Chain A
């Protein structure tokens, strides 16, 4: 897989090549060149299958990382193409013209991370959340616990004990 990258290196700014195992390699590509690069992998290098698009929230770096997992069904090799984008007004070019199903992943990413893919069919339609008014829930600054405490009723049969207080009550109640 390294030889593909060596060959394409002149044409695209590819960084951080990492051969994860013999059939999987990770690479990072600039946002502006990413769609072009993925198109090239699909049309010229036999990576015909899009397995998944997902994202990571690097809150501290103020970035989202998009990961496109694409597969060559003949050689059984896969690339993870990583693209770092700004977290503020997060936006990425759509690849639904390459794979129709990309629109579904992009719709999900819009809902769960708030990453927009302008032009992607149905990208603004709710995906699995109903009537969501909070910040997108996969963002790391979303307080899951607080949300669940506010949203769901407590289950019967549940009791709370704080270890330090419980120990006081048991071991030194009068002090």
Chain B
């Protein structure tokens, strides 16, 4: 009996063939709850395409795809999430983790379409009826990652304002792990870093507590991690996705943590550089700043014999002679440089090219030459009074301090400039005044108003903590001199610095005046290059632009094929551009030498 039923029962369904269907084409009009997790919405201009939604999706329902009209640029991948509703389980983790808070869900859950491929769309870019719906699921007030950065321990102003000891203490292991844990590993930062460092990768190494792997990742693109871990301009942090709704990752301090924790005597073993096969080729490098050291490092790894010619008694260029010790201690500079020297790089100190040796000679003696001589000449405002002997350039004074020489310190000092160098000399002066007079009286004044001052924000804050006055938004007019002594600086109000086209074209209101008392004025409005080592014959054959800058190609090769140029005289000015230039030039030099064979 059972068997016959088994055979017949499928056919009994046929009796419903002519009945009205029980399914309905459109479900009842019933709105989802206010917090219902329905179809996604995305504020497409707020989204930066970091892909964290894709990463967290447990069903692989999200792809990051290019969207017409959205450009790939610093801080924005140009990609946007596309959601496959064949896979989405409406869990809303993508919304909860969204770094920019652009992704949300409407409460719309009904959508009927006969083409399944339509259930694959880009929220925000594709026009959907629920795009303007107010209701639905939004990022809740708890966080899947901590939006607040782990505070860095710093010396209190009163503990630091009389000496040049390092202010920033560095992260402990616990702090570093906690900070590293905030990274969503989107990698948006990598494009913005001039050296394109593997930032998410080394932060992951910290999380895995594998600091040797972290060090290897750092050295892939940056041979000066102790230095960059302290004074890098950290452009990466300005685009950090986590920074959109919280504090950006402390990328710089995490880098420092890796470099600090690895002992220098183990670097060669960790980095696998105990033995390097030599190729017998010789490269001359002029200047031991970041670009020269970076080029030397990567060339040495390729087997080149590198000789660096350094004008000053110690290596490091602006890193040693421009940046004060309280920001970058000399022993940390030495740690980075000594490792590079351990690869066989030689530095000849106190050798000035153009005086003790010539570029032509280097061309003859070496297979190629890299020059990264930097910007060491001070620039003057050329206002009346600047010829007075108590008017100095910031770079000269900073260099003298690093050389251990005594510099003139007045009771009242005015610094003209609003960049990091201006802050460096202002804060150095504050310390020296404290040592000499027991009090601080230094004013730094810049054309730029505070919101557009080029100095790093923390430099301004810390300078003020150390009792320096930062007074932005004034244009220097003249230095008043009475009885052959400086009495102060006359300024007028600066209304704007750049014109509509973004060119430097300051506008002033001459009716708003002020006077800053001073016995000494320091100019810090930018630096110039000294290319006097280029002989006339070389200059004739070297392509330069109308501002006297050497033109180089993508490999930092000049029009003289044996001469490569990088660092501040080409790009920047900052350390990380120099490092990136040096690395690229090293690859360029290798290509050039191989092409000659």
A residues with a Cβ closer than 8 A to B are 144-145, 148-149, 155, 157-164, 166-168, 170-172, 174-175
Contacts and interface: CB of A to CB of B under 8 A. Distances in A.
A174 to B, nearest CB: 6
Interface in B166-205: 186-188, 190-191, 196, 200
Contact of B191 (A161, A164, A174): A164
Interface in B63-92: 63-66, 72-73, 77-79, 84, 86-87
Interface centre among A155, A159, A172 (most CB of B within 10 A): A155
A167 B186 CA distance: 11
A148 B196 CA distance: 34
A170 B60 CA distance: 25
A158 B79 CA distance: 14
B584 A144 contact: no
B196 A168 contact: yes
Given A145-B58, A145-B60, A163 B84 contact: no
B86 A159 contact: no
Contacts of A163: 49-51, 64, 77, 79, 186-188
21 contacts: A145-B59, A145-B60, A148-B58, A148-B60, A158-B84, A158-B120, A159-B63, A160-B63, A161-B65, A161-B79, A162-B64, A163-B49, A163-B187, A164-B187, A166-B64, A166-B77, A167-B78, A167-B187, A167-B191, A171-B72, A172-B196
Interface of B: 49-51, 57-60, 63-66, 72-73, 77-79, 84, 86-87, 117, 120, 186-188, 190-191, 196, 200, 554, 584
A167 B190 contact: yes
B63 A161 contact: yes
Contacts of A144: 58-59
Given A166-B78, A166-B79, A161 B64 contact: yes
A144 B57 CA distance: 10
A167 B77 contact: yes
Nearest to A160: B63
A175 to B, nearest CB: 6
A159 B58 CA distance: 17
A159 B65 contact: yes
Contacts of B79: 161, 163, 166
Nearest to A165: B187
A108 to B, nearest CB: 18
Contact of B59 (A148, A159, A168): A148
B59 A167 contact: no
Nearest to A171: B191
Nearest to A149: B60
Contacts of B86: 155
A143 to B, nearest CB: 9
B190 to A, nearest CB: 5
A166 B65 CA distance: 10
B104 to A, nearest CB: 20
B186 A161 contact: no
A88 to B, nearest CB: 25
A168 B77 CA distance: 9
B187 A162 contact: yes
B64 A164 contact: no
Contacts of A148: 58-60, 87
B452 to A, nearest CB: 25
Given A155-B86, A157-B120, A158-B84, A164 B200 contact: yes
B584 A167 contact: no
A151 to B, nearest CB: 11
B280 to A, nearest CB: 28
A172 B191 contact: yes
Given A158-B63, A166-B72, 12 more contacts: A157-B120, A161-B63, A162-B187, A163-B188, A164-B77, A166-B79, A167-B72, A167-B77, A167-B188, A167-B191, A171-B191, A172-B191
Nearest to A170: B72
A154 to B, nearest CB: 9
B196 A155 contact: no
A162 B59 contact: no
A54 B501 CA distance: 65
